[in-house]
Structure 1
Amino acid sequence: MITKLRTALCAMLAAVALLGGAPAHAAEVTLPDAIRALSVAAETNDGYERTAFRHWIDEDRDGCSTRAEVLIEESRTEPVVEANCRIISGTWHSYYDGRVVTDPSELDIDHMGPLKEAWGSGAKFWTKERRQAYANDLTAERSLVAVTAATNRSKADKDPAQWLPPLADARCTYIADWVSTKLRWSLSVDQAEHDALLRVADGCGYQRVTYESAA
């Protein structure tokens, strides 16, 4: 009985977040419950322009762009950073393909939810300020990730019905990160995307999704 009540409460928290009311703390739900909490709607990218999402800004004015902030945060060794926040080297794990990279020029910073995909999932109705916040979201750990340029460009603007990480062991983490981002920003999924997420989740055991609604 307690377990059923807890599951119902988690689902309610997720639904509240979708309606724009942030819970008092980060919500944690099972991966299937998180997927079911997503709003399913047809998506269209009409009118999309990448410039609608201003990104790689220096929000805190410390001299480091969003890209640099992610590289510094995700390096597994102390990164070498020169003047003007120019990152020379470090050690990064590209979890999409399992590669370890020491040259930052080989890395892209991936928007977990691609900008074009976000546009069609609801961001087209946002203010330019909210789109900028989405494109530079350093608050949520998995909104932006450093991965090899090859995998990022292979993904492009595809959703999980069209693309999954080449490393099979990364796929459960990936869809949990994807769903977390969609819930955080109250973005919808289309039916094919929803069904693909559930198919992958079926093999993900007790994978959970933690998220907090964006301000």
Structure 2
Amino acid sequence: MNRTLRATAISLVATVAATLGLTQPAWAASYSAPLATAVASLPVATEVRTGYNRDLFPHWIDADGNGCNTRNEVLIAEATTKPTKGSGCSLSGGRWYSYYDNAYWTLTSDLDIDHMVPLAEAWDSGARNWTTSRRQAYANDLGDSRALAAVTDNVNQAKGDQDPATWMPPYASARCRYINEWVAVKIRWRLTVDSAEKSALTNWANSCPNSTISVTYAY
């Protein structure tokens, strides 16, 4: 099941359960609020980088055993022109849009798959207390289309592990979308923010449309 269909299915389960007055399992619990309210709800805590290692987040796994790892699943899902899938899930003939910098690409080598909230930032914000299996689930999250994004490789590298207090997409028209998606991922995985990050998100929320953020919490 691709990540869009999976997210839709989970959301449907949560909606039906709520309608019937049933207790929802933790993985199906949902959250919905306007952007400004969502930002205000984010808990503030000091970030702790101690002990971080990227290898503590096993990623680019083939979760469903179909021969395509997470990186390629994202590329297939986000292609504006669908690629041909060859041996070993090699992809060719596709076209992709990097919304961070308003650029189009036809070679997968020109694209990185960005963790919207970088792995190091997630560690700092609570993932250091998770099990390895939960960190793996985070690093390969296909259950919410906002968690991972195919973007221009050098733009992603410029972002690194920065949060919105120190980095925003170079394409100005992408920034409100970016803030919405950042906040959604923080809420989905119940991650904290530091004070500078909270201030930056609040300032952006005050200048962006107060659109509703709907999230299904990660299991």
* Range of TM-score over shorter length: 0.7 to 0.9
Question: Match for 1:137: what amino acid?
Answer: D
- How far is 1:29 from its partner? 1.1
Q: Which runs of 4+ in 1 moved over 4 A?
A: 21-25
- Identity of aligned pairs, percent? 50
* Structure 2 residue aligned with 1:39: 43
| Residue 71 of structure 1: aligned partner | 75
Tell me the CA shift for residue 26 of structure 1.
Answer: 3.6
**Matched letter for residue 167 of structure 1:** Y
Change in 2 beyond 3 A, CA 1:107/1:24: closer
Aligned to 2:207: 203
SS in structure 2 at match of 1:202: helix
Residue number in structure 2 paired with 1:126: 130
What is the distance in 2 between the residues matched to 1:150 and 1:71? 17
Q: For 1:77, what is the secondary structure of its paired residue?
A: coil
Aligned to 1:157: 161
Which whole-Å CA distance do the structure 1 matches of 2:77 and 2:195 have between them? 35
| Structure 1 residues 48 and 25, CA gap change in structure 2 (3 angstroms) | closer
Listed as ranges, the matches of 1:64-213 within 5 Å are 64-213=68-217
Q: Distance in 2 between matches of 1:73 and 1:184?
A: 20
Does the CA-based 8 Å contact 1:58-1:65 persist in structure 2? Answer: yes
Give 2:202's aligned amino acid. Answer: L
How far has the Cα of 1:28 moved from its partner? 2.2
After superposition, what is the alpha-carbon deviation per residue over 1:160-212, rounded to whole angstroms, capped at 9, x for unaligned? Answer: 00100001111110011000000000000000000000111111123221211
Match in the other structure for 2:21: none
Cα deviation code 1:10-50 (max 9, x no counterpart): xxxxxxxxxxx859664321111000111100101111000
Provide the rounded CA distance (Å) in 2 between the counterparts of 1:49 and 1:212: 27
Shift of 1:84: 0.8
Deviations along 1:133-179, one digit per CA (max 9) or x if unpaired, are 00000011110000000110010000000100001111110011000
- In the alignment, the residues of structure 2 paired with residue 210 and residue 194 of structure 1 have an alpha-carbon distance, to the nearest angstrom, of 19
Secondary structure in 2 aligned to 1:210?
Answer: strand
1: CA distance, partners of 2:94 / 2:60 = 20
- Separation of aligned partners in 2, 1:39 and 1:164: 21
* Residue-pair matches, total: 195
Segments of 5+ residues of structure 2 without an aligned counterpart are 1-24
- Normalising by structure 2, we get a TM-score of 0.86
**Runs of 5+ unmatched residues, structure 1:** 1-20
**Separation in 2, partners of 1:38, 1:122:** 13
What residue identity is the alignment partner of 2:40? R
Q: Counterpart of 1:8?
A: none
- The Cα shift of 1:89 comes to 3.0
The one-letter code of the counterpart of 1:159 is D
For 2:108, the aligned partner's letter is P
Compute the TM-score of the two structures, normalised by the length of structure 1: 0.88
